[in-house]
Amino acid sequence: MSTSFYNKFERHAHGEGLKGNSTHYCAGCGHGLAHKYLSDAISELGIQDDTVLVSPVGCSVFAYYYFDTGNTQAAHGRAPAVALGHKLANPNATVISYQGDGDLASIGLAETIAIAQLGNPITVIFINNAIYGMTGGQMAPTTLMGQPTSTSPDGRKQINGQPIKIAEQIAQLDGPVYVERVALFSPAERSRARKAIKKAVQLQKEGRGYAFIEVLAECPTHLKISPDKSEAWVKENMVPIFPLGVKKDLTVEPWWNIEPPLFDGGKFVGIIGATTDKTERNCKEFPAHLHPSDISLKLAGSGGDGAQTAAILIATAAINEGFDGTHIPSYGPESRGGTSYADVHVAKTEVLNPASPSPDILIAFNAPSLSKFGSTVAKNGFIVFDSSVSKEIEPSDSSIKVIGVPFTEIAAGLGKMVVKNIVGLGALAAATNIFPRETFLVAIKQALKDKVALIPLNEKAFDLGYDAAKENMKAKRY
């Protein structure tokens, strides 16, 4: 019978010889059988080309070497959220989240419960071997009372709490339609496991809802016993704590028929404030004097300084000019008077990483921000700061230009403190020549389309910031 495995597994010896058909799992490990039953189900249901398997950190991390399907790796514990993303992006796909007990029941418990309660048709295969397998045999949420592990050498004690019965937890939620716990320690139990896994996948194929299969699996390596003895251990020790059987099985008519998401930006015009109006471009070319392809900026200040708004305006200006622009805000308790910040990128074609840990340009609206981020600026970079509230700092490298402009003082002189961020943008334009003046003003006018009376004030603030930066640079002979 055909399966959805690759004909050879490239992980070992480049797929040559016997190793080309062997997995990385230890002898007697339950993952091998679970893989086999899942592969058979995918093939029997004829969904190989439509299947996406999500495997996170854990013993199953290399599943993509074995399953000839779509594959996605997820961060530890995040497989259900990634699976949901796949299902919503491609509603016709069969999406399977394959996870271990440390991953699903500990690190990813929040995602597990939340996605299960939603009830969208995805299939979760949960391998419960009562221990963290790949990372060193630590105590897992499913470790039995008295069971020794690397982090509980004297056995799990009362202070560690009781093992979590995940299948029962999932079954009591309203979202799932099918929940069953199976095992692998005998031919009869393997047959039940095979049927349960296929049913869980079939329910998704038919659009009936969320299905969850918990598989009690052997881990001879961390039990430190032989494979046959580990089968007996699962039967004698795990089954009394984790009773086998169906925990929930609802008869539900097929209901999953949602449309795939739209990727035509024109259809969103008017819904999210987008527009088809074309803006006049003022940049003759990408500002490669700052970076050949991707300029990183960090704007930082306290709450009310307008750093986030200024960041959005820079990203908007970049997009208006035909470049790529991103804005990643960072909010937190610091915004109540310390430093909150925004990372911005302006890329010639595409931003590949929106974070700015070492920015080419820093705009600091207060002293804590200047102190915190001043030393992170890259060589040949720029620091533009509010000299009304901060003292100038020595740059970490002599190639970095430091330009002080009294943002607050200028804004106060205009009678509107809220425009000090626009003063900062003017200073940025003068100091770096990242964009022409007109580019910034177009973005500002777009932002103020419903408050056109404020446009002259903002233009004045921009120009005063620009002129002040030019004076500072002239004095320093930059």
Q: Is the pTM of this model over 0.75?
A: no
Span 99-130, pLDDT tens digits: 999 899 999 999 999 999 999 999 999 999 99
Q: Percent of the chain at pLDDT above 90?
A: 82
Alpha carbon 340 to chain centroid, angstroms:
21
Q: How confident is the model at residue 275 (pLDDT cuts 50, 70, 90)?
A: low
Asked if pLDDT for residue 161 goes beyond 60, the answer is yes
Q: Which fold has domain 271-475?
A: Pyruvate-ferredoxin Oxidoreductase; domain 3 (3.40.920)
Beta bridge partners of 384: 363, 403
Q: pLDDT digit string (tens) for 245-263?
A: 999 999 999 999 998 887 7
- pLDDT given for residue 272 in this prediction: 56
Over pLDDT 70: what percentage of the chain? 95
308-349, pLDDT tens digit by residue? 999 999 999 999 999 999 999 987 554 455 568 999 999 999
Q: Quick: pLDDT tens for 171-222.
A: 999 999 999 999 999 999 999 999 999 999 999 999 999 999 999 999 999 8
Residues 325 and 319: beta-carbon distance below 8 Å: yes
Residue 397: other Cβ atoms inside 10 A: 12
pLDDT surpasses 90 at 290: yes
| Phi-psi domain of 364 (left: phi exceeds 0; alpha: psi -120 through 50; beta: other) | beta
What distances in angstroms separate CA 276 from CA 58, 268, 455, one per listed residue? 47, 10, 22
Residues 79, 43 contacting (CB under 8 angstroms): no
Given a contact cutoff of 8 angstroms between Cβ atoms, the answer to whether 142 and 112 are in contact is no
Domain boundary assignment for the chain: 13-249, 271-475
Q: Are strands 294-301 and 340-347 parallel, antiparallel or unpaired?
A: antiparallel
Write down the CATH superfamily of domain 13-249: Thiamin diphosphate (ThDP)-binding fold, Pyr/PP domains (3.40.50.970)
Q: Please state the rounded mean pLDDT for residues 360-383.
A: 96
d(CA 284, CA 20): 55
Q: What is the pLDDT of residue 335?
A: 45
Region 414-430: mean pLDDT is 96
| The predicted structure's pLDDT at residue 265 | 67
Mean pLDDT (the chain, rounded): 93
